[in-house]
Chains A and B, each alone.
Chain A
Amino acid sequence: MTDDVTLLRDVHDMWEALDPAPADLADRILFTLALENVEHELMRLHESLAPVGARGPETAATMTFAAESLTVMVTVSDAGPRQRRIDGWIAPGAALRVELRTARGVQETVADTDGRFAFAALPAGLMQIMIHPTAGAALPLHRAVATPPVQL
C-alpha cells in the first residue's frame, strides 16, 4: 500500500507530466513585475504580420504597437543562429530614448530625429521595448510607453 505522502507525490509528478506550467510563464511574469516600479503606458499590439516569404530559414516579422501619443513599428529579422535583429520606427519621428529588455539584460539606444532605431545581435526569446520621455525630443512624452512582452 502506498502511503499518503508517496501517493500525493505521485499525483504531483503526474500533473507535472500531464499539464505543466507553460515553460516561459515565469519569464513573462518577471517581465511584467520589472515594470511595476516604472510608471508607464502599456502599448497595444495593433497589427502583426507573420513571417513573409517563407524561404528557408530567413524570416522577418513586422509588428505595430500603439500608445496614445505614438506608434512604433518593429521589424524582427534573423541575424544568425538564434540571433535576431530589430529595426524600429517611431511615429511621429522623434529622437526618443529606447530601451530594449531581454532575458539577458537591457540595451539602450536613441532613435534618430526620424524616429528610426535598431538593435543588432539579440538573443531569441522574450523581449520588450520601452520608450522614455527624452529631453530635447520633438515629441514630449508624459510617461514611458512599453510594448507587451513578445517572443523574438
Chain B
Amino acid sequence: MTSTTSGDTGVAVPSWELAAREFAAWRAGDPDALDRLVRVLTPVLWHVVRAYGLDRESAEDVVQTTWLALVRNVESVRDPRAVMRWATTTARREAWRISRAGRREDVAEPETLDTALPPVDGPDKTVLAADTARILWRAFADLPERCRRLLRVIAFDDRPDYATLSAELGVPVGSIGPTRGRCLDKLRGRLAADPDWSGAA
C-alpha cells in the first residue's frame, strides 16, 4: 500500500492522509504545502497512469494535466480527505481516454526491464531489492492484463474510485473486490511455484 514513514512517530501514514493534510494546509494559506502535496502525489499519479499502458511522455502529460486541473478546480474538492481520490480519478479517466485513442506501449517485457534495473554489482540492499523485484515481475507479467492494471492501481491508491474503475476494467462495481482477491491469489500461486521467490522474500 502507499505509505510513507512519518519522521516523528515511525508509524506509516497512508498517502491519502498525507495528501489530505498538505491539501488542507495549502488551502489554509501555507504556500509550501503545495510543494509537499505535489511531491507526495506525483509518484502515485505516475504509477496509476502507467498502469494504463501509456508511454512515458503521454504519462507525464497526463500527470501535468491532472495537477493543472486540480489547481484550477480547487473549489470542487470540498473535503481534503478526498483530494487523493479526486486526483487519481481524474488521472485515470484521462489515461483511459488516451490509452483507447491508441497512444500506448505494450507492457514492458522482462528483457527490457532487465536493462532498466540497476546493475548487480554488490550484495547491498538495493541489489537485493532489485532481485526481488525481478522475481516478482516474472510472476506479475504472467497475469491477465486486467489483473496487472488493477494491482498496480491499488498498490499505489488503496482507495480507488470503484465506479470509474469498474467501467475501465469492464467488471461490475460489485466484482472489483472479488477480482482483486482472485488477482492476488493468482500472483501468490505463481510466486509459490517459484523456488527463487521463497529464497528472496
Contacts and interface: CB of A to CB of B under 8 A. Distances in A.
Interface string B48-79: 00100000100010011001100110000000
A10 B71 contact: no
Contacts of A36: 68, 71-72
B43 A11 contact: no
A32 B108 CA distance: 30
B2 interface: yes
Interface string A6-17: 011111111111
A18 B133 contact: yes
Contact of B1 (A1, A12, A15, A17): A12
B136 interface: yes
A30 interface: yes
A33 interface: yes
B19 interface: no
Interface string A91-113: 00000000000000000000000
Contact of B188 (A2, A12, A33): A2
Interface string B139-174: 010000000000110111010000000000000000
Given A17-B133, A29-B42, A29-B64, A7 B184 contact: yes
Interface stretch (A20-28, A67-75, A77-85, A133-141): A20-28
Contacts of B1: 5, 8-9, 12
A5 B60 CA distance: 28
Given A11-B152, A21-B47, A25-B46, A32 B133 contact: no
Contact of B42 (A5, A19, A25): A25
A76 to B, nearest CB: 23
Nearest to B136: A14
B39 A11 contact: no
A33 B67 contact: yes
B130 interface: yes
A29 B184 contact: no
B46 A21 contact: yes
Interface of B: 1-2, 34-35, 38-39, 42-43, 46-47, 50, 56, 60, 63-64, 67-68, 71-72, 108, 113, 116-117, 129-130, 132-133, 136-137, 140, 151-152, 154-156, 158, 181, 184, 187-188, 191-192, 201
21 contacts: A2-B191, A4-B184, A7-B187, A10-B201, A11-B152, A11-B155, A12-B2, A14-B137, A16-B47, A17-B129, A18-B116, A18-B117, A19-B108, A20-B43, A20-B46, A21-B43, A25-B42, A29-B42, A29-B64, A33-B67, A36-B72
Interface of A: 1-2, 4-5, 7-22, 25-26, 28-30, 32-33, 36
Given A5-B1, A17-B133, A18-B133, 10 more contacts: A1-B192, A8-B154, A8-B155, A11-B151, A13-B132, A14-B132, A14-B137, A18-B113, A29-B42, A32-B64
CB-based closest 4 A-B pairs: A21-B46, A17-B133, A12-B155, A11-B155
